[in-house]
Chain A
Amino acid sequence: MGFFQVELTKNVRVHPRHFHSKLKETLIQTLMDEVEGTVSGRFGFVVSVLEVLQPLPKGILREGFGFAIYPLKYKALVFRPFKGEVLDAVVTNVTRHGIFAQVGPLTIFVSRHQIPSDMTHDEETASYISVVEKAERIQRDSAIRLRVNGIKIDASSFTAVGTILDDYLGLVE
Chain B
Amino acid sequence: MAQVPKQIEDLVRVVARAFYTDLYIVVLDALVREKYIRQDLLSKKLHVATKELRKLLLQLQEQKLVKCEVRVQRKPTKSNNNNENSTEYQRAVKATFWYIDYFHLIDVIKYRVDGMRQKVTEMMAEGHVYQSFQCQKCKEVYSSLDSARLFVPTEGVLRCDNVIVRNTLCKGLVEEVELEGKVATVKELQTRMENELRPILEMVAQAEQEKVPLHPLEGLDADQLGMIISDNPDEQPSWDTLREEFYSHRNNSHPNYTQSSFVEKKDEDHKEEQVKVEIVATEEGTSHQGGNELFKQGLKHVPSWFEEGKELESRKDTDGRGVVENDWIVELEDSHTRGGESLEQVPLDEYSLAYYRSLIGATNSQTTSKEEGSELLSSQEPEEDTLFEETVENSLLEEEGIHSCNILMENGQVMVQVQGQLIALKDVKETHLKQMTTDEYLAYYETLMQTQVTQS
- Residues of A in contact with B (beta carbons under 8 Å apart): 92-93, 95, 97-98, 100, 107-109, 111, 113-114, 126, 149-152, 157, 159-161, 163, 165
Contact = CB atoms under 8 A, between A and B. Distances in A.
Given A93-B153, A93-B156, A126-B156, A107 B148 contact: yes
A109 B153 contact: no
A159 B176 contact: no
Interface pairs A-B: 4 shortest CB-CB: A113-B128, A152-B145, A107-B148, A109-B147
A24 to B, nearest CB: 40
Interface in B191-224: none
B239 interface: no
Interface in B141-158: 143-149, 151, 153, 156-158
B130 interface: yes
7 contacts: A97-B147, A108-B148, A113-B183, A149-B129, A151-B145, A152-B146, A160-B148
A161 B128 CA distance: 10
A111 B131 contact: yes
B176 A109 contact: no
Contacts of A113: 127-128, 131, 179, 183
B148 A159 contact: yes
B129 A150 contact: yes
Interface in B124-171: 125, 127-131, 133, 143-149, 151, 153, 156-158
B149 A159 contact: yes
Interface residues of B, number: 22
Contacts of B179: 113
Contacts of A109: 144-145, 147-148, 151
Question: Per DSSP, are chain A's interface residues mostly helix, strand or loop, or mixed?
Answer: strand
Given A160-B145, A161-B145, A95 B151 contact: yes
A150 B148 contact: no
A148 B142 CA distance: 19
Interface in B23-82: none
Nearest to B158: A97
Contact of B144 (A92, A95, A161): A161
A150 B151 contact: no
Contacts of A98: 144, 147
A98 to B, nearest CB: 8
B174 to A, nearest CB: 9
Contacts of A93: 151, 153, 156
Contact of A114 (B129, B153, B157, B158): B129
